[in-house]
Amino acid sequence: MGFRTVFIKNGATLRVKLDNLEVVKEGDVFVIPLIDIESVILEGEDTSISSRILAKFAQYHIELIVCDSKYLPTGVFLGLGQYHRSAKRAMWQSNWTVEQKEIAWTVIILQKISNQISFSETAKIDGNRIIAMKKLRDNLQLGDKTNREGHVAKVYF
Protein backbone atom coordinates (compact mmCIF):
# COMPACT_ATOMS: atom_id res chain seq x y z
CA MET A 1 0.00 0.00 0.00
CA GLY A 2 1.37 3.38 -1.02
CA PHE A 3 1.99 6.35 1.19
CA ARG A 4 2.76 9.19 -1.24
CA THR A 5 0.41 11.71 -2.73
CA VAL A 6 1.80 13.00 -6.02
CA PHE A 7 0.70 16.44 -7.27
CA ILE A 8 1.04 17.03 -11.01
CA LYS A 9 0.58 20.57 -12.29
CA ASN A 10 -0.01 21.87 -15.82
CA GLY A 11 2.05 20.71 -18.75
CA ALA A 12 3.37 17.37 -17.54
CA THR A 13 3.38 14.07 -19.39
CA LEU A 14 2.94 10.86 -17.40
CA ARG A 15 4.36 7.52 -18.47
CA VAL A 16 4.80 4.08 -16.94
CA LYS A 17 8.22 2.48 -17.18
CA LEU A 18 9.21 -0.69 -15.32
CA ASP A 19 6.43 -0.28 -12.72
CA ASN A 20 7.46 3.30 -12.06
CA LEU A 21 5.58 6.50 -12.78
CA GLU A 22 7.64 8.84 -14.93
CA VAL A 23 6.66 12.48 -14.82
CA VAL A 24 8.16 14.55 -17.62
CA LYS A 25 7.89 18.31 -17.24
CA GLU A 26 9.92 20.98 -18.98
CA GLY A 27 12.64 18.49 -19.87
CA ASP A 28 13.01 17.14 -16.34
CA VAL A 29 12.13 13.50 -15.61
CA PHE A 30 10.95 12.41 -12.17
CA VAL A 31 10.57 8.70 -11.37
CA ILE A 32 8.37 7.39 -8.54
CA PRO A 33 7.81 3.67 -7.84
CA LEU A 34 4.11 2.85 -8.29
CA ILE A 35 4.14 0.77 -5.12
CA ASP A 36 4.93 3.95 -3.12
CA ILE A 37 1.99 5.97 -4.50
CA GLU A 38 -1.36 6.19 -2.73
CA SER A 39 -2.91 8.91 -4.88
CA VAL A 40 -2.17 11.21 -7.79
CA ILE A 41 -3.73 14.64 -8.11
CA LEU A 42 -3.77 16.26 -11.57
CA GLU A 43 -4.10 20.04 -11.37
CA GLY A 44 -4.83 22.21 -14.39
CA GLU A 45 -5.81 21.11 -17.86
CA ASP A 46 -2.62 20.35 -19.81
CA THR A 47 -1.45 17.02 -18.38
CA SER A 48 -1.32 13.96 -20.65
CA ILE A 49 -1.94 10.40 -19.43
CA SER A 50 -2.71 7.12 -21.17
CA SER A 51 -5.06 4.22 -20.60
CA ARG A 52 -1.98 2.13 -19.75
CA ILE A 53 -1.32 4.43 -16.79
CA LEU A 54 -4.94 4.14 -15.68
CA ALA A 55 -4.67 0.35 -15.82
CA LYS A 56 -1.46 0.42 -13.74
CA PHE A 57 -3.07 2.81 -11.24
CA ALA A 58 -5.96 0.36 -10.86
CA GLN A 59 -3.54 -2.57 -10.49
CA TYR A 60 -1.61 -0.77 -7.75
CA HIS A 61 -4.76 0.65 -6.11
CA ILE A 62 -3.73 4.24 -6.83
CA GLU A 63 -6.47 6.84 -6.65
CA LEU A 64 -6.44 9.53 -9.38
CA ILE A 65 -8.08 12.89 -8.67
CA VAL A 66 -8.59 15.30 -11.57
CA CYS A 67 -8.91 19.04 -10.95
CA ASP A 68 -10.14 21.77 -13.28
CA SER A 69 -8.40 25.01 -14.28
CA LYS A 70 -9.46 26.54 -10.96
CA TYR A 71 -7.73 23.66 -9.10
CA LEU A 72 -11.02 22.28 -7.78
CA PRO A 73 -11.52 18.48 -7.80
CA THR A 74 -13.91 17.44 -10.57
CA GLY A 75 -13.46 13.67 -10.76
CA VAL A 76 -11.92 10.58 -9.24
CA PHE A 77 -10.64 7.41 -10.89
CA LEU A 78 -10.57 4.28 -8.76
CA GLY A 79 -9.93 0.75 -9.91
CA LEU A 80 -12.69 -1.81 -9.62
CA GLY A 81 -13.14 -3.17 -6.13
CA GLN A 82 -10.98 -0.61 -4.36
CA TYR A 83 -13.37 2.30 -4.20
CA HIS A 84 -14.47 1.50 -0.68
CA ARG A 85 -11.18 2.29 1.08
CA SER A 86 -10.51 5.67 -0.52
CA ALA A 87 -14.15 6.66 -0.57
CA LYS A 88 -14.62 5.77 3.10
CA ARG A 89 -11.55 7.75 4.08
CA ALA A 90 -12.70 10.77 2.05
CA MET A 91 -16.21 10.56 3.50
CA TRP A 92 -14.83 10.18 7.01
CA GLN A 93 -12.55 13.21 6.63
CA SER A 94 -15.24 15.34 5.00
CA ASN A 95 -17.46 14.76 8.04
CA TRP A 96 -14.87 16.07 10.51
CA THR A 97 -15.97 18.98 12.64
CA VAL A 98 -14.12 22.28 12.42
CA GLU A 99 -12.52 21.48 15.77
CA GLN A 100 -11.24 18.10 14.51
CA LYS A 101 -9.74 19.78 11.42
CA GLU A 102 -8.07 22.42 13.58
CA ILE A 103 -6.65 19.75 15.90
CA ALA A 104 -5.27 17.79 12.94
CA TRP A 105 -3.76 20.95 11.45
CA THR A 106 -2.21 21.88 14.81
CA VAL A 107 -0.60 18.44 15.15
CA ILE A 108 0.84 18.72 11.62
CA ILE A 109 2.22 22.21 12.25
CA LEU A 110 3.64 21.20 15.64
CA GLN A 111 5.50 18.29 14.03
CA LYS A 112 6.79 20.48 11.21
CA ILE A 113 8.11 23.08 13.67
CA SER A 114 9.63 20.36 15.87
CA ASN A 115 11.41 18.91 12.83
CA GLN A 116 12.86 22.33 11.98
CA ILE A 117 14.07 22.78 15.56
CA SER A 118 15.55 19.27 15.66
CA PHE A 119 17.41 19.79 12.40
CA SER A 120 18.68 23.18 13.56
CA GLU A 121 20.04 21.57 16.74
CA THR A 122 21.69 18.77 14.75
CA ALA A 123 23.21 21.25 12.30
CA LYS A 124 24.39 23.40 15.21
CA ILE A 125 22.57 26.49 13.97
CA ASP A 126 22.80 29.68 16.05
CA GLY A 127 21.40 28.96 19.52
CA ASN A 128 19.43 32.24 19.60
CA ARG A 129 17.48 31.15 16.51
CA ILE A 130 16.70 27.80 18.13
CA ILE A 131 15.50 29.52 21.31
CA ALA A 132 13.30 31.85 19.22
CA MET A 133 11.80 28.89 17.34
CA LYS A 134 11.08 27.06 20.61
CA LYS A 135 9.32 30.14 22.04
CA LEU A 136 7.20 30.41 18.90
CA ARG A 137 6.39 26.68 19.07
CA ASP A 138 5.35 27.01 22.70
CA ASN A 139 2.85 29.74 21.72
CA LEU A 140 1.18 27.60 19.04
CA GLN A 141 -2.61 27.91 19.22
CA LEU A 142 -5.31 25.58 17.98
CA GLY A 143 -5.44 25.79 14.17
CA ASP A 144 -2.30 28.01 14.16
CA LYS A 145 -4.47 31.13 14.19
CA THR A 146 -1.44 33.33 14.89
CA ASN A 147 0.65 31.80 12.07
CA ARG A 148 3.44 30.41 14.25
CA GLU A 149 4.39 28.17 11.32
CA GLY A 150 5.22 31.19 9.19
CA HIS A 151 7.14 32.95 11.96
CA VAL A 152 9.20 29.82 12.70
CA ALA A 153 9.91 29.41 8.99
CA LYS A 154 11.18 32.98 8.84
CA VAL A 155 13.60 32.29 11.72
CA TYR A 156 14.52 28.84 10.34
CA PHE A 157 15.37 30.03 6.83
pLDDT per residue as tens digits for the range 60-119: 989 999 988 777 888 888 877 665 666 677 777 778 888 999 999 999 999 999 999 999
Domains of the chain, by residue range, sit at 4-94, 98-156
- Fold annotation for 4-94: Ribosomal Protein L15; Chain: K; domain 2 (3.100.10)
DSSP the chain: ---EEEEE-TT-EEEEETTEEEEEETTEEEEEEGGGEEEEEE-SS--B--HHHHHHHHHTT-EEEEE-TTS-EEEEE--TT-HHHHHHHHHHHHT--HHHHHHHHHHHHHHHHHHHHHHHHHTT--HHHHHHHHHHHHT--GGGTT-HHHHHHHHH-
pLDDT of the residue at 74: 85
